[in-house]
Structure 1
Amino acid sequence: MELNEYVKLFRRRLLMILFIAFLGVDAALLVTWLSPKTYEAHSTVFIRADSPNSSSYEDSQFTLQRVRNYPDLVNSPQVLQPVVDVLGGDYSVEALGREVSAENPADTVYVQVTGRSNTPEMAVRLTNLVTQNLAEQIRVLEAGGDRSVAIDPRITVPAIAPSSPTSPNPVVNLALGLIGGLTVGMLVAVAGAGRDRRIFTARDVRDVTGLEVVANVRAVTGRPQSKNVAHAPADVGSYRELLTHVLLANEGALPKVLLATAACPGADGGSARLMEGWAAFLARTGRRVCLVEADRQQQPAFGMKPTTRGLLEALGAGEPLSSVVVPVRENSLYVLPAGTAHVHPADLMRRVGPALGELSADFDVVLIHSRFDSRPLSNEVLSSVAQGALILACYGRTTDDQLDLAALELRALKVRPLGVVLLSIPRNRRKTVPTRALAEGETAVDAKTGEPTVGVAGGGKG
């Protein structure tokens, strides 16, 4: 994957990544709360050398050479055993040695002692006792050496009670939890990229295809009764929304021949109900509408009885398609059955374009519900006459790859996708797609009547 693909992937999975990061922060808080607290106290011993037979510079160089060895004394039994005797309890020289340390900062004559404990008071007491014993042990050892040089260790900074524990560090733990959570979230997103990635939102659609969602349609059940379009699954708001956005996407005009292709296998039932309902809605706005059945395997539209005469029979006999359309509503809504006759594929490709062109002259809009594998009318067969296409995707079922493939195939056939219709949205998840203001002269539909309206100067809402 390229960088821009990773960016798109992380944008699509942002909520999941943030949720995992939140879990990482929660885990860090839990670890911080459960971890035992450790307090550190610090003291400083200044080492001074004095010799009547040398200069101050020589004394300082002598001290610098000697002071490097003093930190190792802090874990010696001579230093720790007196502290164990004072503290008593479960302390031992070995256990105490793990709680104290010392260092000599470079190019200094200081020895810094650090003591650790689970309470600030004990950390202070432990550090001061060890520091006192260390200074005394240095005096004892140096007293047996060159007596012309006097070594005088002095405690210049005694230990004081720390105000906060050094471990655990809440800021560091939270930062690590956040970074770890974000890293795990991004890895999970990348790992899931090879599996099915489902379409849920308009952002998912835009990221995959660059197209807009032109309508959100809630889940519907049932089919309209024969020739009784009043019983079509009624989602007038979605149909009005769809019409408005198609007009906006097509410069204010409804395409004469409009394809609708499902990008999700097995979604023919829902997409067929959508097309029937939208056809009925368009007919109620006063338009003459013809719904073309592109696949002979589909159930007849509007619950009508199967017919033996349809598009294939008309093409085979050289008759106009208007001779086989079936009225659903007088003078407004018709259905063109697919038919059952056999027509040679070459003849079908040659005849169907002009025939549908003639049919569209008799109607305001010809709607065709097809797929890339529909028989007899696949998208390839219809590409020569289609003036635009809608891609039908199922909420939570259509994958990124399916949607992307549908858009790419339409563009390869030089059929312009006008947008994506998101089907079967749960009622508690349905969100209306915002409609932009109409420019002057731009056509939409009236929000109450469904009739065409035209934008005026100053803009209006479609």
Structure 2
Amino acid sequence: MEETISLKEIYEIVKKRLSLIVSFVIGAALLAAIVSFFILTPIYQSSTQFIVNQSQESSNQEMQIDQNTIRTNVELINTYNVIITSTAILNDVIEELSLSYSPEALKSNIQVSSEQNSQVVTVTVKDPDPALATEIANTTVHVFQEKIPDLMNVDNVNILSEAITKENPSPVEPKPMLNIAIGIVLGLMVGVGIAFLLEYLDTKIRTEQDVEEKLGLTLIGVISTIEADDIRRDPSTTTQPVKRGGFHHVQAKKTGTN
């Protein structure tokens, strides 16, 4: 038989395990904050841009730039995006800057992008050292500009803007607030999941409804629990609860004269 759960039961479970859920949320948020602020290495980025256009020789000849030329330059950008992060370029960058990176590691730190149908290409470099990120970005574009005429027999790359290091650069990674928000969401999901799991594994019978649902028995009567303080005492009798063998018995002692 398929079991169903109502919104009221969900509310009761969440209310019952609220402290557990809150503990998971707070713990996950604190863990995310500690990792973001004290464990992860801050990463800085620097960007430079170059434009793919007519060569200087063609400009001197005052060639008219038509739509076909622009389209050709845009199509070349996809090829340039591959070449600029190739080993032929990055090896020269590593040698010129005396970097400890391998070409593969350096490639993972470089991102090349361009807007659709745009002749401007942006080269973004990420590194724990903001000054080094700027040097890598500028050197990569300079080396690419020098080698592209030999690689493709074209001369249509001009630097549009060089990368610069700000006075007080801010890291782009990690993002503490985003990480803490993700931690809170994950903590909430895990806390609620564990709360429902504990409720599912809890087979104790506590209410009349549990008797009918878990044992399949028809309830015909209920014996209420009476505390010792609720018993009406006779003025001439004192009652004292005595615990024996796990059960509470009441021992009565008659007071007064014989």
After TM superposition, the score normalised by the length of structure 1 is: 0.42
Q: Deviations over 1:316-359 (max 9, x none)?
A: xxxxxxxxxxxx99xxxxxxxxxxxxxxxxxxxxxxxxxxxxxx
Contact kept, 8 Å, 1:70 with 1:111, in 2: the verdict is no
- How far did residue 301 of structure 1 move? 5.1
In 2: Cα distance, 1:112 partner to 1:189 partner: 49
Q: Which runs of 5+ in 1 are unaligned?
A: 146-150, 200-204, 206-258, 263-270, 285-297, 306-327, 330-462
- How far did residue 196 of structure 1 move? 5.9
2:216 corresponds to: none
1:115 corresponds to: 125
Q: Deviations over 1:113-172 (max 9, x none)?
A: 121211111111111111211222234445x35xxxxx4322222223362222222122
Which residue, 37, 43, 47 being the options, matches 2:42?
Answer: 37
In 2: Cα distance, 1:124 partner to 1:58 partner: 35
1:21 corresponds to: 25
Which residue, 251, 261, 264 being the options, matches 2:224?
Answer: 261
2:165 corresponds to: 161
Say if 2:176 is the partner of 1:170.
yes
Say which structure is richer in helix. 2
1:274 corresponds to: 229
- How far did residue 197 of structure 1 move? 7.8
Contact kept, 8 Å, 1:49 with 1:62, in 2: the verdict is no
Q: CA separation of 1:198/1:83 partners in 2, compared to 1, >3 Å: closer, same or farther?
A: farther
Aligned counterparts, 1:371-382, within 5 A: none
2:72 corresponds to: 62
Say if 2:189 is the partner of 1:189.
no
1:127 corresponds to: 137
Q: CA separation of 1:59/1:273 partners in 2, compared to 1, >3 Å: closer, same or farther?
A: same
Aligned counterparts, 1:39-438, within 5 A: 39-49=44-54, 51=58, 55-142=65-152, 144=153, 151-161=155-165, 163-194=169-200, 195=202, 261-262=224-225, 271-276=226-231, 279-280=232-233, 303-304=252-253
1:416 corresponds to: none
Contact kept, 8 Å, 1:41 with 1:127, in 2: the verdict is yes
In 2: Cα distance, 1:198 partner to 1:182 partner: 28
Give the number of aligned pairs. 219
Which one has the largest radius of gyration?
1
In 2: Cα distance, 1:167 partner to 1:54 partner: 45
Corresponding letter in the other structure for 1:273: A
- How far did residue 92 of structure 1 move? 3.5
In 2: Cα distance, 1:85 partner to 1:140 partner: 19
Q: Deviations over 1:20-47 (max 9, x none)?
A: 1000011111221211222221111111
- How far did residue 299 of structure 1 move? 8.0
Between the aligned residues of both structures, percent identity stands at 20
1:172 aligned counterpart, secondary structure: helix
2:125 aligned counterpart, secondary structure: strand
Corresponding letter in the other structure for 1:303: A
1:111 aligned counterpart, secondary structure: strand
- How far did residue 2 of structure 1 move? 2.3
2:10 corresponds to: 6
